[in-house]
Amino acid sequence: MKVVARFITLLSLLICSASYAATLHMATDADPSSLDPHEQLSQGTLQLSHLAFDPLLRWRQDHTFEPRLATSWKSIDKLTTRFELRREVYFHSGNEFDADDVIYTVKRLKSSVEFRALFDNIKHIEKRNSHSIDIITHKQTPLLLNLMAYLFPMDKDFYQGRDDIVKFGNSFASRNLSGTGPFIITSREPGTRIEFVRNANYWDTKSKGNVDRIEFSTIKSDATRLAALLSGDVDFIFPISPLDMPRVKRSRNIQLVTLPSTRILFLQLNQNRREELKNTKVRQAINLAINQEIIVDKILKGFGTAAAQLSADDFLGHLDSLTPRFELDKARQLMREAGYEEGFKISMMAPNNRYIHDEKIAQAITAMLAKIKIRVDLKTLPKAQYFQEFDKRSADIMMLGWQSDTLDSNNIFEFIIACPDAKTGYGVYNANGYCNPNLDNRIKSANRELNPEKRIRLLQQIESTIAQDAVIVPIAWEHLAWGAKQNVNIKDVINSQDWPYLGDLVID
């Protein structure tokens, strides 16, 4: 009898482990440049963080918050928020997770060149007990929870003493990692591939995820990456070029999932460089001459949303009344009124490997502006060189894409629209030369406003002023696209921030 019982247990174990053993081969266009989660604030780093670490909380697909290492939180006073931390969570090294790790991580974040700006507002953290903390901010902020989605507690005992954040250097943290996340790195060949195995002691036992190994490859060329999926060498790829989507849709055993992202692509019209661009009518004419719908339709193949403002659909500042307008006659008339009927020559720069089809979009814009006799001298550069030129504001028109780190309109306004101010960091990416003190005040007050309704009104006012003054030319929000074999249920784990939660991925 005992033998039979044992046999059954063994059998059931076998069956269980059989259903719990799936290897995911995936390919993306870039891998994280370092294992140090604080070295570079990039998509690659955040994607890795969601595999090997856990945030205090994270966004669900509907942009609400899901508790992760924090189980609950509540506001104590204007500046203090209390977080209860999850118990019985262990790092890959075996150390137990507690409040000290969070305090340690925030301290490290505040010393990171790239993350410092995000975490500037946190004054200090009060440890109440081993699994409860109070976070105290300098100024009151409506965005503290958004920030906590970027806080991935690191293993204090593991890193301490050898935790220098060395940019591009050979630091301990850039090669070693100990987080609480669902996957443990077993081998890594930078620029080529990383291998993960599932963390056997992962705290989230409710997760249905059944991937026990991930083979993460980097394939830069869109065509080769898609070829790898079509030929069955990998199960899951992203991104997918809009051009290739018809081919993906044709394959019966491949699924294509797209989501609108919140990254806005736009043009900055530099008023400091060109007298003509100081004229609001000229800027409006440029806005009217550019046909966002057709760019989305023909170049992005419909995998984008034509934009007439900076705030994406679910951002607080979004105004439904602002829709893309394409009126060539009106544009010509405005040019006439401004005294530039015969047009003028202008320089433009755009990256050619940063945003989806950036170069093609820039070329199309050249052709569109030719219709109102603005002759554009276009230069497209690889991103490494482009951003140097961007810093120098080398051209009259410059293309930029902006993803709001906090999923909030004001982040865009602060960096792009506010008057440049080196001290506060406001307007660091303002390449349009527009400076409106009125607007600046509103941006600042939106940063403190806690009343949601008032805040929405503030942000929407800012958005409509920008549109009225035609400060920039919004083009489109790109859509994100993932492709996978039919048996890989990626739909449930992807999100518009482009951080797939692979710990919860189920492969049938």
Query: Per CB under 8 A, which of residues 154..173 are in contact with another protein?
Result: 167-171
User: For residue 186, which amino acid is it?
Assistant: T
Pick 111 or 210: Cβ nearer another protein: 111
Separation CA 237–CA 255 (nearest Å): 11
Stretch that binds another protein, among 51-59, 225-233, 275-283, 465-473 (CB under 8 A): 225-233
Pick 98 or 498: Cβ nearer another protein: 498
Task: Identify residues 33-72 at the interface with another protein (CB under 8 A).
Answer: 33-34, 40-42
Separation CA 47–CA 32 (nearest Å): 8
Pick 13 or 367: Cβ nearer another protein: 367
Of the chain, the end-to-end C-alpha distance in Å amounts to: 34
Query: Can you give the three-state secondary structure of 447-473, one letter per residue?
Result: HHCCCHHHHHHHHHHHHHHHHHHCCEE
Size of the site for another protein (CB under 8 A): 80
- Cα–Cα distances (Å) from 486 to 70, 125, 207, 246, 255, in that order, read 34, 46, 20, 17, 6
Does position 415 interact with another protein (CB under 8 A)? The reply is: yes
- Cα–Cα distances (Å) from 428 to 258, 390, 402, 424, 432, in that order, read 31, 11, 12, 9, 11
Stretch that binds another protein, among 6-14, 32-40, 92-100, 267-275 (CB under 8 A): 32-40
Which pair of tokens denotes residue 155? 């293993």
Task: Identify residues 422-441 at the interface with another protein (CB under 8 A).
Answer: 422, 425, 428-429
Nearest to 118 by CA among 420, 411, 409: 411
CB of 40 to another protein, least distance (A): 6
Answer yes or no: are the C-beta atoms of 114 and 39 closer than 8 Å: yes
CB of 14 to another protein, least distance (A): 26
CB of 11 to another protein, least distance (A): 31
Residues 118-147 as x/- pattern, contact with another protein by CB under 8 A: x-----------------------------
Does position 175 interact with another protein (CB under 8 A)? The reply is: yes
Burial class of residue 267 in the structure, from the number of CB atoms within 10 Å of its CB (0-12 exposed, 13-18 middle, 19+ buried): buried
Task: Identify residues 184-203 at the interface with another protein (CB under 8 A).
Answer: 189-193
Pick 126 or 195: Cβ nearer another protein: 195
Task: Identify residues 438-457 at the interface with another protein (CB under 8 A).
Answer: none
| Dihedral sign, Cα of residue 105, residue 108, residue 113, residue 119 | positive
CA 468 to chain centre: 28
Quick one: which of 79, 117, 328, 338 contacts another protein (CB under 8 A)?
A: 117
Quick one: which of 16, 21, 139, 233 contacts another protein (CB under 8 A)?
A: 233
Pick 29 or 469: Cβ nearer another protein: 29
Quick one: which of 254, 269, 295, 397 contacts another protein (CB under 8 A)?
A: 295
Degrees, nearest 5: CA angle 178-180-186: 50
Q: What's the helix, strand, coil split of the chain in %, to 5?
A: 35, 25, 40
Pick 8 or 370: Cβ nearer another protein: 370
Q: Which H or E element spans position 409?
A: helix 409-412
Residues 368-387 as x/- pattern, contact with another protein by CB under 8 A: xxxx---xx-xxxxxxxx-x
Pick 213 or 278: Cβ nearer another protein: 213
